[in-house]
Structure 1
Amino acid sequence: MRQRLIYLIKVYALTVILFMVAKVVFMWANHEGHAFSAGDVWDVISHGLSLDLSTALYALIVPFLISIGSIWTESRWLRRILCGYYTIIAIAFTLAFVADTSLYPFWGFKLNAVCLQYFDNPAEIGASVSGLYMAIRLLLIIIGAIAIWWMYFRIPMWDKKPSNKKLSVIGDLLLIPLFIIGIRGGIDESTTNIGQVYYSQEQFLNHSAVNPVFSFLYSLSHQMGDTSKYNYMEEEECEALVKGVFTTESTFSDTLLTTTRPNIAIILLESCGEEFASVMPRLQQLKKEGIYFSQCYGNSWRTDRGTVCTLSGYPSFPSLSVMKMPEKSRSLPSIARTLQQENYKTCFLYGGDINFTNMRSYLISTGWEKLTWKADYTAEEQSTAQWGVRDDITFQTLHDQISKADPTGRLLIGYSTLSSHEPWDVPTKELDDEVLNAFRYLDNCLGDFIDRMKSTAAWDNLLIVLVADHGINYKNIDEQRPLERNHIPMLWLGGAVKGPRTVNILCNQTDICATLLGQMRLNHEDFRFSRDVLSKSYHYPTAVHNYNNAQLLIDSTGHILYDFDAKRFTVSNSKEPERMLRLNKAILQVTTKDLKER
């Protein structure tokens, strides 16, 4: 028994040490923009230890069971099973460590099951980074897996059966409650969770303390399919709280358009948060020519989510992508389907792979009739950017589709740009910073497109709606600076616009559908979560943004960012934080309930 117990202790200790080392590597690899001291490293390790100890017990279950089996037999197949198990563990741990460390600069949160939603199109994932980047990560995974397997395999095992089998069995049985209590995190009502390691006002330190293996497994077992975790209050109270937030009627005061039936182009600008406005002079100029919504905020942090928010006026969710759920997305309201009833022809343009994140299914099922995408271009054009066809080429396509359309007909075009995305591979270089340079390129493409459209007959009856699909983390601007990170431009341009105006009303990109339909004097009651921000009925302006089980709420009293895993504010800048928190929870409860019932 003693040999087996010592063996299990050594395996357990090695696993915990691996988790600690992974934390140090994570902090070192992601130090840019996140200053920390040696004391911070120690704090991260010490505060994250409880989660490491619990997670390590999961990894110890199989060796524990093998040790029990070896009480009665010394058969080699038990050792072979253990050898195979360590191979699996070594690969799994290394994948988690490398993926967690590599994804954090892009996403700003710990590894979780969200990443699985993007693995059905590996080629598109690779488009965000270079081949060398992927090769280095693959090499790290191979080396790391071999090293971890070797360390486990080198721990000396027992060499004989115990002399007293009954005593050994009793000893093993006594260890079972320790496993249960350790994995559970104690005997209190609260079980092991990510929030238990949060200790700092600096979110990077909290994230560093979280065990990536536990984070992934926890999110995998707490998917949004179980919406009961967002039931915070009685349904009547919840509906009462959100009643003033989500108004579906339009009460008109004036109109911004010269016609109620313009041709419409909705352009989603990839990653184009207001944080990049300083390097986009043409966009700044255009704000003075059209209707600029100066207080618009993105609902989410990824293109698939932002696209649904914009085109369906439907909210985003912290832990899932509705676009990836065809059984749900096809039931959503849609600006395309609504305008089809007004005899609009609908088409959508994207220079990338339209099958990525199930975009094709969503677009077709919500009323977009003609899809133009990467496959419709020449092989040479398809290879002009990592993600597909670069923006100057697709802007030309957009120009042709609008200018050559039947002038007596009604047209709705959706278009997503793609060049302002990692790896920022654009054909021009005006700025040294590759990120800023990509947005300058987008700005040039946009300005040139507008200039050429003005010279066409189609301009007079055209409404162009410009909006970013989401903002991004850039240098020290991240989700802990949510107002800067998620502020996005929303601008209406074209000959169908009466004249320049700035609308200083707080809103979300989800409000585009109801606001546009309201200006067109069309009913929009089926867009339950989209508000006509120009209507007199919009009397409680708010904006919501969510990501990775955290949700931002903004109103006239300030803003809060609440982490539902940690069960705490990560940002609280409001005169009434507790009232805002109840409203924040009510919004999440009512939106997830709506999704579940679709």
Structure 2
Amino acid sequence: MGLLIKLGNRRFTLFTLLLLFKCSLAWFVVFEDGPSWGTMLTEIPFFWLVFCLIEWFASKRKLLYYTIANLLFTLLYFTVLMYYKYYGIIVTYHALSQADKVTKVGNSTYSLMDPYYLLIFVDVIVLIAIPLWLNKKSKKIQLSLKPISRTALSALFLVSIVLCFFSIWPNRASMNENKQAEEMGILNYEIYTIFADSTEDAELVEMEDITQPVIDDLKGVKNESSPQYFGADKGKNVIIIQMESFQNFLIGLNIDGQEVTPNLNKLAKENFHYDNFYTMVGQGTTSDAEYVVNTSLYVPKHQAATADNVKKELPSLPKLLEAAGYTTATFHTNDVEFWNRRELYDAIGWQKYYDKSFFGDGDHVAFGASDEVLYTKTFDELKKISESGKPFYAQIISMSSHHPYNIPEEKVTLKLPEKLEDTLIGRYIQSQNYSDKALGAFIDNLKQSGLWDDSIVLLYGDHQGLPVYSLDNDENEAMEELLGHKYGYADMFNIPLVMHAPGVTYPAVIEHTGGQIDILPTVANLTGVSLSNQIHFGQDLLNQSANVLPMRHFLPSGSIITDNDVFVPGISYEDGTNYPLSPRNDAEGGAAQEQYEHALELLNLSDSYVKQLEDKQ
């Protein structure tokens, strides 16, 4: 029994309509204005280029090739949706290097998916299932095909090329990658990034032209011959605690009379609390934070710092402090191979690292042993290290409060209102409450042992925990109720920096803008270690009051954080948007064009500098 299907030219139309629905879904999620008639003019010509090639070169099984093309386009659009939900930018081929990480953080990835995203796979399943079902029933598909003439194919192919070209060419100079993708079309943008990388030759600044005075001048840094607090804590230990996904709004947050982070609240009141401090990570998130803090260099544009930058002999805080007589070590309960940390730690120059092989996998939370295990075993090790009589620098990386924030039930003690129960925001708050308890026990141990009084201790968040791109309307309403204002970029990137420096007296809350890149020069100043021979792109937070922070990856290129705003460019600076750091901020003017241009120069200087460093032996 045969099943006669008359497709003819309808095959072109059918698959065009199917893919148009999928691209419209992607545009609806990714772009503020959603799909439009212009969407068709940018996306459809690319479909047709592929369909013309199938019609030209496939003499048989054309439906199969259409289905395969449909599947590949579908996977690309699905990847665009998922990537944007966390990173806020359009995925490109650069992210292929990150693909192996997806399987290791599966729950985190799946939690970003709205069920309706799966609709884009329905037709693929049907197109595969029907032939299999017919084959099982011993039926055959007989295709009555009305071939498309070669002349029509040639004309359509040429028109499609012209439309793709005129979608790409006028928009290639746009600074904002998301704007580029919106104007070019997602598929055209994906192709453009491949060719742009092979032809785009960013001006490499020669090493002799990359000097600290040049960097400081671009940043507006005013160097003092005798900076305040230089060597105020000379010879003290340095303990830097990197807190997983911790955002600044949590400090002081009360829910139904309960403090979410009572231990950090107390630390923030009794020590330095930088209230306008910001994450500066890229694709490598947590590992990027380790990189930025320890090198005072910007993350690379298209990839994690642990990809290529770690192949270089990097200047770093561990190397500086080792030269000053310190013992150095870093502590993380995950496997050292994750995010290529073995290479990172070698490039940064840690004398010793402690990973899963040291901490084990008992009391498992997220991707390894719990924060309780991390802090307990780390404290015991720090006591041993301190017995040598030499000061030490230890960096501790917490992990239990990792997205999607699934803390074991027995560790949950905070009672949330019903509207927050079993929501992303509720789980986030519960996980940070747990991590705060584990941290509090560690701080108590440091104080009881005397290490607290003999150490500089810094605590900061590694990156945002609640990306604005991931929240739905209900979650945004819940955040607005918690914060008292609409949740935005400034809240998302705002992480705390709490600093205990025994040799310094300073106001508890500091409003100066700072970023992770500023930690190295700040610690160097407190410990009395000279940076005269080391390039750094951060600034000493105890001696500078103005700042500009170039941002990468989670915002389009050219985005900066100033003392008043988060600035996001449009096609260029002129059509950019300023988002105030505070809802109470009524300062006029926003980011100056000079700040924007200087930020781009600083990023190029950092990239050029790393590229010309000696390869690691």
Q: Which band: TM-score by shorter chain?
A: 0.7 to 0.9
Are 1:311 and 1:513, in contact at CA under 8 Å, matched by a contact in 2? yes
Aligned to 1:452, what secondary structure does the other structure show? helix
Which shifted more, 346-355 or 564-573?
564-573
Within-5 A mapping of 1:517-532: 517-524=524-531, 525-532=533-540
- Give the match for residue 281 of structure 2: 300
C-alpha displacement of 1:129: 5.0
Aligned to 1:504, what secondary structure does the other structure show? strand
Are 1:51 and 1:211, in contact at CA under 8 Å, matched by a contact in 2? yes
C-alpha displacement of 1:361: 0.6
1:228 equivalent in alignment to 2:221: no
| Overall identity of the aligned pairs, in % | 17
Cα distance change on mapping 1:86 and 1:577 into 2, 3 Å: same
Are 1:460 and 1:496, in contact at CA under 8 Å, matched by a contact in 2? no
Give the AA of the match of 2:429.
Answer: L
**Counterpart-to-counterpart distance in 2, 1:290 and 1:187:** 52
- Give the match for residue 91 of structure 1: 71
Cα distance change on mapping 1:308 and 1:137 into 2, 3 Å: farther
- Give the match for residue 310 of structure 1: 293
**Counterpart-to-counterpart distance in 1, 2:345 and 2:21:** 45
Within-5 A mapping of 1:88-237: 88-129=68-109, 145-147=124-126, 158=145, 172-185=153-166, 190=171, 212-223=186-197, 228=201
From 370, 376, 386, give the equivalent of 2:352.
Answer: 370
Cα distance change on mapping 1:145 and 1:332 into 2, 3 Å: farther
Q: TM-score, normalised by structure 1?
A: 0.78
C-alpha displacement of 1:509: 0.9
Give the AA of the match of 1:260.
Answer: K
- Give the match for residue 324 of structure 1: 307
From 273, 279, 283, give the equivalent of 2:247.
Answer: 273
RMSD: 4.3
C-alpha displacement of 1:297: 1.4
**Counterpart-to-counterpart distance in 2, 1:187 and 1:516:** 47
Are 1:197 and 1:210, in contact at CA under 8 Å, matched by a contact in 2? no
Which shifted more, 409-418 or 235-244?
235-244
Give the number of equivalent residue pairs.
Answer: 551
**Counterpart-to-counterpart distance in 2, 1:183 and 1:368:** 50
- Give the match for residue 40 of structure 2: 49
**Counterpart-to-counterpart distance in 2, 1:365 and 1:236:** 24
Cα distance change on mapping 1:491 and 1:241 into 2, 3 Å: closer
**Counterpart-to-counterpart distance in 2, 1:314 and 1:467:** 17
- Give the match for residue 65 of structure 1: 56
Are 2:167 and 2:184, in contact at CA under 8 Å, matched by a contact in 1? no
Are 1:466 and 1:489, in contact at CA under 8 Å, matched by a contact in 2? yes
**Counterpart-to-counterpart distance in 1, 2:142 and 2:241:** 59
Which shifted more, 433-442 or 297-306?
297-306
**Counterpart-to-counterpart distance in 1, 2:564 and 2:358:** 49
Are 1:127 and 1:386, in contact at CA under 8 Å, matched by a contact in 2? no
Q: For structure 1, list consecutive stretches of 5 or more residues without a partner in the other structure.
A: 1-5, 68-77, 163-167, 200-205
**Counterpart-to-counterpart distance in 1, 2:536 and 2:442:** 34
Which shifted more, 499-508 or 236-245?
236-245
Q: TM-score, normalised by structure 2?
A: 0.76
Cα distance change on mapping 1:354 and 1:582 into 2, 3 Å: same
C-alpha displacement of 1:350: 0.8
C-alpha displacement of 1:379: 4.3
Are 1:183 and 1:192, in contact at CA under 8 Å, matched by a contact in 2? no
C-alpha displacement of 1:66: 1.8
Cα distance change on mapping 1:565 and 1:148 into 2, 3 Å: farther
Are 1:347 and 1:412, in contact at CA under 8 Å, matched by a contact in 2? yes
C-alpha displacement of 1:424: 0.7
C-alpha displacement of 1:178: 1.8
Aligned to 1:65, what secondary structure does the other structure show? helix
Which shifted more, 99-108 or 456-465?
99-108
Cα distance change on mapping 1:13 and 1:425 into 2, 3 Å: same
Q: For structure 2, list consecutive stretches of 5 or more residues without a partner in the other structure.
A: 1-5, 133-140, 254-259, 481-485, 581-588
C-alpha displacement of 1:371: 1.5
- Give the match for residue 283 of structure 1: 264
C-alpha displacement of 1:222: 4.2
**Counterpart-to-counterpart distance in 1, 2:112 and 2:512:** 43
- Give the match for residue 256 of structure 2: none
- Give the match for residue 464 of structure 1: 457
Aligned to 1:294, what secondary structure does the other structure show? strand
Give the AA of the match of 2:461.
Answer: A
**Counterpart-to-counterpart distance in 2, 1:226 and 1:514:** 36
**Counterpart-to-counterpart distance in 1, 2:93 and 2:312:** 23
| Residues 63-91 of structure 1: CA deviation (Å, up to 9, x unaligned) | 14327xxxxxxxxxx314x4553353233
Aligned to 1:260, what secondary structure does the other structure show? coil
**Counterpart-to-counterpart distance in 2, 1:345 and 1:241:** 30
C-alpha displacement of 1:512: 0.6
Give the AA of the match of 1:491.
Answer: V
C-alpha displacement of 1:268: 0.9
**Counterpart-to-counterpart distance in 2, 1:341 and 1:254:** 23
Aligned to 1:94, what secondary structure does the other structure show? helix
Cα distance change on mapping 1:496 and 1:352 into 2, 3 Å: farther
